[in-house]
């Protein structure tokens, strides 16, 4: 009996400590899993302050109402653009005046060289046309980089995306208004040399400026959104502006087109569908007192950008939803 007792196996040691360790480990990993689940759930439920969140809010607001509600931010963005435009430049704002003046001198020189001294060129018309053209060019070129040049701002901060192209258009408007302080005295002087005076209808120029600014805003919205999706847009816009310059009455009067298109009247009508044609012609007519003929084609040229604005605002609203992902 004693021998059998010696060979019997010893009772197993208590497994209580191991069981408690397993329970503690299981509890630890379970807690870790719950924490991870809460973390990722929090990420999914976190508010999105980028384009997706902004689109829902922006669609509920009219574009003009949006600009008015955020007018302080709009002015701040425009002020930042104005300060950064000529930062580090010695002449600063003077370049805004010198650039169109230099262009006007070059155009006058070559037109007289090609057409002879007897060619009738109104210097006042060229000055008015070049300054108006520069307003549009500045709005378009600044609008191209409205989003691509502010990628971090678009990704990290929620605000109506409309304000960026609107701000560069506003800064271009401020520049244009300041250049009028130089343009108007120069036009008065040029008219005086021709024994003419500035027309009383110049008081209606602000109406044309308002329409011109709205048209430039539409262009800035279109090119700014397109440049986010297609980076070749800047090159295409450069080519388009070069062609647009020559088919707009920047350095020649509309009467020249009328004379050349006598054999093809439809060509004259097609030319007046260009919004810049009617805008520049209106600037000249109001300041110099030349007759402003409102043909059916010119009326369409005034109206179709207003109708296209609805499509442009809708297309911009759809396009801006993906800006944060594409920038």
CA pair distance 17, 15, nearest whole angstrom:
6
CA pair distance 38, 48, nearest whole angstrom:
18
Cα 124 versus chain centre, distance? 30
pLDDT band at 231 (very low <50, low <70, confident <90, very high): confident
Residues of the chain with pLDDT > 90: what percent?
36
CA distances from 58 to 42, 48, 163 (A): 25, 14, 11
pLDDT, greater one: 104 or 200: 200
At 4, list the tokens: 């059998």
- Residue-range domain boundaries for the chain: 14-46, 48-326
At 175, list the tokens: 């520049």
pLDDT higher than 90, residue 226:
yes
267-298 pLDDT, tens digit per residue, is 888 999 999 999 999 999 999 988 888 889 99
DSSP, collapsed to helix, strand or coil, labels residue 48 as coil
154 by Cβ neighbours in 10 Å (0-12 / 13-18 / 19+) ranks as buried
Nearest by Cα to 128 from 209, 229, 59, 66: 209
The string of DSSP letters for 205-224 reads HHHHHHHHHHHHHHHHHHHH
Q: For residue 293, what pLDDT is reported?
A: 81
114-161 pLDDT, tens digit per residue, is 655 555 668 888 899 999 999 999 999 999 999 988 888 888 888 888
User: Is 203:140 a contact under the CB 8 Å cutoff?
Assistant: no
User: Is 293:267 a contact under the CB 8 Å cutoff?
Assistant: no
At 251, list the tokens: 């350095």
């Amino acid at each position: 009996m004693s021998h059998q007792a010696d060979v019997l196996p010893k009772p197993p040691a208590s497994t209580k400590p191991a069981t408690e360790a397993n329970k503690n480990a299981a509890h630890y990993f379970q807690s870790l899993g719950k924490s991870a689940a809460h973390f990722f759930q929090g990420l999914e439920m976190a508010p999105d302050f980028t384009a997706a969140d902004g689109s829902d809010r922006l669609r509920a607001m009219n574009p003009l109402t949006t600009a008015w509600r955020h007018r302080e931010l709009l002015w701040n963005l425009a002020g930042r653009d104005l300060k950064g435009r000529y930062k580090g430049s010695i002449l600063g704002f003077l370049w805004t005046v010198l650039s169109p003046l230099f262009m006007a001198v070059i155009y006058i020189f070559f037109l007289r060289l090609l057409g002879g001294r007897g060619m009738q060129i109104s210097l006042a018309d060229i000055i008015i046309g070049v300054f108006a053209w520069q307003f549009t060019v500045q709005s378009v070129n600044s609008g191209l980089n409205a989003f691509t040049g502010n990628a971090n701002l678009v990704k990290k901060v929620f605000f109506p995306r409309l304000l960026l192209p609107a701000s560069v258009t506003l800064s271009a408007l401020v520049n244009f208004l300041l250049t009028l302080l130089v343009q108007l005295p120069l036009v008065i002087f040029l008219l005086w040399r021709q024994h003419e005076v500035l027309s009383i209808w110049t008081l209606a120029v602000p109406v044309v400026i308002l329409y011109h600014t709205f048209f430039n805003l539409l262009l800035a919205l279109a090119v700014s959104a397109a440049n986010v999706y297609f980076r070749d847009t800047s090159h295409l816009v450069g080519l388009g502006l070069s062609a647009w310059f020559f088919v707009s009455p920047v350095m020649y009067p509309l009467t020249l087109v009328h004379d050349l298109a006598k054999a093809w009247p439809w060509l004259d009508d097609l030319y007046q569908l260009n919004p810049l044609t009617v805008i520049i012609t209106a600037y000249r007519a109001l300041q110099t007192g030349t007759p402003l003929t409102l043909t059916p084609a010119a009326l369409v040229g005034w109206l179709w950008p207003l109708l296209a604005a609805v499509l442009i605002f809708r297309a911009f609203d759809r396009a801006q939803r993906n800006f944060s992902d594409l920038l």
